Amino acid sequence: MSNQVRAKTVAFIGLGMMGGPMAENLLKKGHPLVVYDIDERKVRRFVELGAQAATGPADAARQAGILISMVDTTAQAEEVIAGPDGFVRSVQSGDVILSMSTIDLTALRRLHPRLAAMGVQLLDAPVTGMEKGAKEGTLNAYVGGDAAALERVLPVLQSMASKVTHFGAIGQGLAMKLINNMLFQVNRVLIIEGLALGAKAGLDPQQMFETISGATGNSVAFQYSAPRILKREFDGIRMDITYKDVELQTQLAKSLGMPMFMANAALQVYQMARAQGLGDKDGVAVVQMYEQWTGAPVEGRK
């Protein structure tokens, strides 16, 4: 493989609910793609679509100059980027690494100088827009890191996201993503409490939804959460991931010496739900816990 071909090739690690559609959009936009996931079935599917398979992150970095990590946790991202079989084993000067997961920004800030010493730029570029945005290529990407490096990978990001915003130094994109997630994830608990309170008071949950949709209590979070609750649609973004996000929000506040009341309360609600075996369900499944407490179901009309 020539250096020119390698520089234009994209490596994508993590082909899950979000990463899979994002990687597929890269192929649709004509980017040469190398993929790896611990689930071999997902890799085989992408090979059938035209991607090259890698045996791990280090092998992917041998074949590509733009390297994307889209995994679940901080530990997984650190393993992909700097682990024994991580990108660092094969990166070359001039490469750009895009960490697109919602993880601990301090971990990336620790890795940044090590990679910079190797001539490698590290950018954080977490995305919002959920699975629908990943499939449609309409995600919002929040970027932190070197502006010149962002300019180089902008066509790659624009193949997955309809809006790319640069927020400053490394970690700033993640800070923005955590705050956005906090506003949604904490609000969702309050939405569930409100609907559960209304059901306990004898209100019809469907009528509550219709009324609030045209009132000051309405929000994007409400329009996402309430219909799923009423229809009992509890598949989606796993509550384990939500808990991880809220924990990162509270950790960031702690590192900055800032008190955080609402996020810490929501963290405990999600933890209680996980303790009851709901960790693999979407965060709206918290309503099942409230229904146990109240004895009043929050369901739409039959």
CA dihedral over 224, 134, 179, 281, signed as positive or negative: positive
Q: Which two tokens stand for residue 27?
A: 């192929």
pLDDT (average), residues 158-170:
97
At residue 261, does pLDDT exceed 70? yes
**Within 13 Å and on the Cβ side, how many CA atoms surround 171?**
13
Quote the CA–CA distance of 267 and 216 in Å, as a whole number: 25
Question: Which segments of the chain are extended strands (E)?
Answer: 10-13, 33-36, 52-53, 66-69, 96-99, 121-124, 127-128, 139-144, 161-168
pLDDT (average), residues 243-265:
96
CA dihedral over 188, 193, 195, 196, signed as positive or negative: positive
Is 254 tagged catalytic? Answer: no
* Domains in the chain with CATH codes: 3-168 (3.40.50.720), 176-294 (1.10.1040.10)
In Å, what is the CA distance from 65 to each residue of 5, 21, 115, 156, 299? 9, 21, 14, 12, 50
Q: Which two tokens stand for residue 115?
A: 């990679």
87, 57 contact by CB (below 8 A): yes
Mean pLDDT of the chain: 96
Q: How many residues does the chain have?
A: 302
pLDDT at position 227? 96
The confidence band for 1, taking pLDDT boundaries of 50, 70 and 90, is low
Q: Which two tokens stand for residue 110?
A: 């620790």
SS3 6: helix
**Amino acid found at 153:** V
**Amino acid found at 92:** Q
Catalytic residue among 42, 177, 244, 281: 177
pLDDT at position 43? 97
At residue 301, does pLDDT exceed 80? no
CB contact set of 11 (below 8 Å; sequence gap of 6+): 33, 34, 35, 36, 54, 57, 60, 61, 63, 64, 66, 67, 68
Q: What percent of the chain has pLDDT over 90?
A: 95
pLDDT (average), residues 194-213:
97
